[in-house]
Amino acid sequence: MRPRVGHIQFLNCLPLYYGLVKNQQILLDIELIKGTPTELNRKLLARELDISPISSIEYAQNHHDLLLLPDLTVSADGPVNSIYLVSQVPITELDGKRIALTNTSATSVNLLKIIIQQKYNFRCEYFVCPPDLPSMLLEGEAALLIGDHALRAFYQKPPGLYFYDLGVEWKEFTGHKMVYAVWAVRKEFAQEKPHLVQRVYEAFISSMQYSIKHLEEIVKDAARWEIYTPEFLTHYFRGLEFSFDEEHKKGLLSYYECLAKQGIIKPIHQLNFIEVK
């Protein structure tokens, strides 16, 4: 059976997908399954996927069953430009209010809870719903959107709303980079088929390297189908980081520490990676 590999169906992962498409052979040798982060999180744990990008919190919650792929994340150093708390009042007036959370996210909904409680010292009430801004704001004072839903909302900026980039809030609060997604493989699969994991890993790494060199080409292709200007897309992609270096590790462990402090996860101090050649 070909390895079943997840793909986040947001523009933020287009640079990683783009290079795979250029490498036609790998697309014949894997089954690529698209979904939102929460769909992919669920599928990897349900053994419906073998390797996938998942929400970074999901690794912390299931690290006994998973291994990380080195050198790959979806991260940002400050502004991420596609994770917004959209509010009808300034953020400083949100204490005690209801906040709608998109059902597509796991990392960012918990990042928001950290920001609200540990940075602002507020208590809010949260409810989860599909990412539709008008209906979210009917019931909530503010709404959290991620990925393409957040990008679109920001681009079309309805009047009278305040937009808070969670990457900026996190950077102000901790001084760290923020890691939103990591690539993980089920431990069992990695033990049984290390050569396949190596192959998929190499394909993603060369895809990432291709994309960094050919950003203009990706923007041009994407702009044909999207509402955004090429300048907007270039700025968006340039703000994203796909690597996993020491600074990303520090940022990720600091996020895990904040989550544990708030009782959302059990403490985790170590990241376990597959061995690659």
CB-based contacts of 276, cutoff 8 Å, min separation 6: 69, 70, 198, 201
- List all residues 6 or more positions away from 101 whose beta carbon is below 8 Å from its beta carbon: 109, 112, 126, 127, 128, 129, 143, 144
Q: Show the tokens assigned to 198.
A: 């190596």
State yes or no: residue 10 binds ligand ISJ (CB under 6 A). yes
Edge-to-edge strands, sheet with 98-102? 125-129, 98-102, 142-146, 83-87, 162-165
Residue among 8, 67, 143, 219 that touches ligand ISJ (CB under 6 A): 8
| Binding string, residues 94-133; x marks residues near ligand ISJ by CB under 6 A | -----------xxxx-------------------------
Quote the least distance from Cβ 135 to ligand ISJ, whole Å: 20
* Residue 52 binds ligand ISJ, judged by CB under 6 A: no
Q: Which residues contact 40 (CB under 8 A, 6 or more apart)?
A: 6, 7, 8, 33, 49, 52, 53, 54
Q: Which of 4, 5, 9, 12 binds ligand ISJ (CB under 6 A)?
A: 12
Per rule CB under 6 A, is residue 61 in the interface with ligand ISJ?
no
163/40 Cα distance (integer angstroms): 27
**Least distance from ligand ISJ to the Cβ atom of residue 252, Å:** 13
Judged by beta carbon, residue 41 or residue 87, the one nearer ligand ISJ is: 41
Nearer CB in complex with ligand ISJ: 89/128: 128
Kindly identify the residues of this chain, within the stretch 156-195, that bind ligand ISJ according to CB under 6 A.
180-181
**Three-state SS across 118-183?**
HHCCCCCEEEEECCCHHHHHHHCCEEEEEHHHHHHHHHHCCCCCEEEEHHHHHHHHHCCCEEEEEE
Binds ligand ISJ (CB under 6 A): choice among 9, 52, 55, 254: 55
Binding mask 203-242 for ligand ISJ (x = CB under 6 A): ----------------------------------------
Residue 237 Cβ vs ligand ISJ, minimum distance, rounded to whole Å: 11
Site of interaction with ligand ISJ (CB under 6 A): 8, 10, 12, 37, 55, 74, 80, 82-83, 105-108, 146-147, 150, 180-181
